[in-house]
Amino acid sequence: MARVLVVEDDQFVRSALIRHLTDAGHAVRSVGTALEALREVAQVGFDVVILDLGLPDLDGGEALKMLRGITDVPVIIATARDDEAEIVRLLNDGADDYLTKPFSVEHLSARMTAVLRRSRAGAAGAEPPSRVIQVGGLSIDPLRRQAELDGTALDLTRREFDLLAFLAGRPGVVVARKELLAEVWQQSYGDDQTIDVHLSWLRRKLGETAAKPRYLHTLRGVGVKLEPPQ
Ligand code: CA
């Protein structure tokens, strides 16, 4: 059972969603405007929000940004627009997933289950593993969020640290960009460039280049792996 907020101005779609989600055992509330949605999430705790992009009062993208200003609740965008650039922008602005209308109830349920699993795993995993990861001269302490290379502390951003810790946790294993996106960025869809940019920043902080890799090895079209220098 999940507490679901449906934000949808189309009365027909809204009733159908409420009926199906209630039948599936969820506790559902619904509103028809972005401002009502903001008021609801400020007052009631939800597990997931299903947000229609075409609302009468605010553009869905604006509504999402305002929601993100007050809550971390998972948001699934429901959109009639099949515009890849906009979907990428919304995911970068904090949407957790999206569905293009018309979608089936089964499809919505599957996405909801996945989003809830991720957010619950995130909450349960709030205590990171205490084990210090050691790969060659790299030492990564997930609990203290500190990383060292050959005894010198690395000054990493949150994302760079997560990326390094994830790759170092499975040394020698080639990880696909898609998996990095899902595991480090917690997105099911996005732009490979985002990953490449973060990888290049991380690489610079490790004092290496793509042409002369030591720890970080990119396999074109396949993915990336981290392993101790040979
Ligand atoms: Ca609408």
- Residues 215/227, Cβ–Cβ less than 8 Å: yes
pLDDT in tens, 125-179: 544 455 889 999 999 998 888 999 999 999 998 889 999 999 998 888 888 888 8
- The CA distance from 227 to 230, in Å, is 9
Ligand 1 mean position to 25 CA, how many Å? 25
Ligand 1 mean position to 49 CA, how many Å? 15
Q: What is the per-residue DSSP string for 169-180?
A: TSTT--B-HHHH
CATH topology of domain 133-226: Arc Repressor Mutant, subunit A (1.10.10)
DSSP element (H, E) containing 134: strand 133-135
User: Which token pair is 175?
Assistant: 């990880």
Nearby residues of 106 by Cβ (< 8 Å), 6 or more positions away: none
Report for 3-7, 88-92, 111-115, 185-189: range of highest mean pLDDT: 3-7
Ligand 1 mean position to 80 CA, how many Å? 8
Query: Sheet harboring 146-149: ordered strands across?
Result: 133-135, 138-141, 146-149, 152-153
Could you tell me the residue ranges of all domains in the chain? 3-124, 133-226
CATH topology of domain 3-124: Rossmann fold (3.40.50)
CA–CA distance from 212 to each of 189, 193, 208, 215 (Å)? 30, 20, 6, 10
Ligand 1 mean position to 7 CA, how many Å? 9
